[in-house]
């Protein structure tokens, strides 16, 4: 498809690049990419792709904009809070590149739609933030033979790779590097561990650079390498990723990737019972999260809570003094997802019992409400 004059003027600086001519720009214009997640990676990634002239972008994300998103999700502003991310993102991309086609899907990627969506595009870019989605995307990409640009980011660190493997060829896939999906709680999320907004912008831009190189054919962007980035001190490293000859290709999706359990946020019977006790004043709720986490979410307002950030604990005696001052024999310990509170109970149960206190962890934490 020939590019219209207004598009040629808009991307004129591309045409001055060595090895980048009209043919390469037309490849971008004719490309269709799928972006998983309009978040910290997806926003800078899509901004760069639209600006570069990629003709069709499909975005899938069912979330709305929150004020805590804005420090890293650069397509959104304070006035967008409460709006669907995909709708706001589509508007911003159309402002960057008039004539772009943006398919905004306000839904969640799942085992019912993943293969069809991933298999319908030239390239899929995974900006999701959960193991369940990342392995679902990677398996769908290998089933359909769709190239996948994969990235993760946490705190000041990010990783990036291009994977491509499929039914007709044995390339390199995510499961060659990480064969098994980790437990959802094995690594802290951004809300717990923090993330530098500029780091997500850097990794999103690197994803876009990989995509532009792959789609246009410049730069010899090929599967089989992982780029690792650290912001402080500024460092990049590249690792070779080889296909595992012992691994069989993925030919069908798993029945579940754990997303239902991690995303449904349904209270267990025991959680409901514990929260009921806290509402009635039958136990004291103790929050062991850090202060910045409390700003994001907490237990319902009618439940009075005591704060004991883990970072403030220096000794068992301090914990014993804290419990002795509560004036309650039953204590409900909670955190974001339930892992830290579970470990806290195991670590300090004996200390608490010496002061006449019995500890119990809130399953699922605040995220489970």
Residues serving a catalytic function are 190, 335
Q: What is the largest CA-CA distance in the chain?
A: 79
Task: Please tell me whether residue 157 adopts helix, strand or coil conformation.
Answer: strand
Q: How many Å apart are CA 8 and CA 14, to the nearest integer?
A: 9
Separation between Cα atoms, residue 43 and residue 57, nearest integer Å: 12
Helix (H) or strand (E) holding 74: none
Q: Please choose, from the candidates 73, 89, 217, 208, the residue with its C-alpha nearest in 3D space to the C-alpha of residue 149.
A: 208
Asked whether the beta carbons of 227 and 161 are under 8 A apart, the reply is yes
Sign of CA dihedral 60, 64, 70, 74: positive
Cα end-to-end distance, the chain, whole Å: 50
* Alpha-carbon span 3 to 12, nearest angstrom: 12
Helix (H, G, I), strand (E, B) or coil at 5: helix
């Amino acid at each position: 498809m020939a590019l219209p004059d207004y598009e040629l003027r808009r991307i004129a600086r591309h045409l001055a690049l060595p090895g980048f001519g009209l043919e390469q720009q037309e490849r971008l214009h004719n490309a269709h990419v799928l972006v998983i997640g309009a978040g910290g990676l997806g926003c800078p990634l899509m901004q760069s792709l639209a600006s570069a002239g990629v003709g069709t972008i499909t975005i899938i994300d069912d979330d709305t904009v929150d004020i805590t998103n804005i420090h890293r999700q650069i397509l959104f502003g304070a006035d967008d809070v409460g709006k669907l991310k995909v709708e706001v993102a589509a508007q911003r991309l159309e402002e960057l590149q008039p004539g772009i086609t943006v398919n905004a899907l306000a839904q969640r990627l799942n085992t019912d739609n993943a293969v069809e969506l991933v298999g319908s595009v030239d390239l899929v870019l995974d900006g999701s933030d959960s193991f369940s989605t990342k392995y679902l995307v990677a398996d769908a990409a290998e089933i359909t033979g769709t190239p996948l640009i994969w990235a993760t980011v946490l705190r000041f660190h990010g990783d990036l790779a291009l994977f491509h493997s499929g039914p007709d060829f044995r390339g390199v896939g995510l499961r060659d590097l990480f064969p098994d999906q980790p437990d959802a709680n094995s690594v802290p999320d951004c809300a717990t561990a923090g993330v530098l907004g500029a780091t997500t912008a850097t990794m999103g831009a690197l994803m876009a650079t990989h995509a532009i190189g792959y789609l246009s054919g410049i730069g010899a962007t090929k599967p089989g390498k992982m780029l690792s980035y650290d912001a402080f001190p500024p460092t990049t490293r590249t690792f070779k990723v080889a296909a595992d000859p012992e691994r069989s290709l993925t030919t069908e999706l798993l029945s579940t990737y754990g997303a239902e359990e991690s995303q449904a946020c349904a209270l267990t019977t025991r959680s409901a019972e514990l929260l009921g006790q806290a509402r009635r004043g039958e136990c004291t709720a103790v929050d062991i999260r850090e202060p910045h986490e409390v700003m994001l979410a907490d237990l319902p307002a009618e439940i009075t809570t005591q704060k004991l950030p883990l970072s403030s604990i220096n000794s068992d005696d301090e914990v014993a003094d804290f419990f002795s001052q509560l004036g309650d024999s039953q204590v409900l310990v909670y955190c974001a997802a339930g892992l830290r509170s579970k470990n806290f109970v195991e670590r300090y149960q004996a200390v608490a019992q010496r002061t006449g206190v019995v500890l119990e962890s809130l399953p699922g934490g605040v995220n489970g409400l």
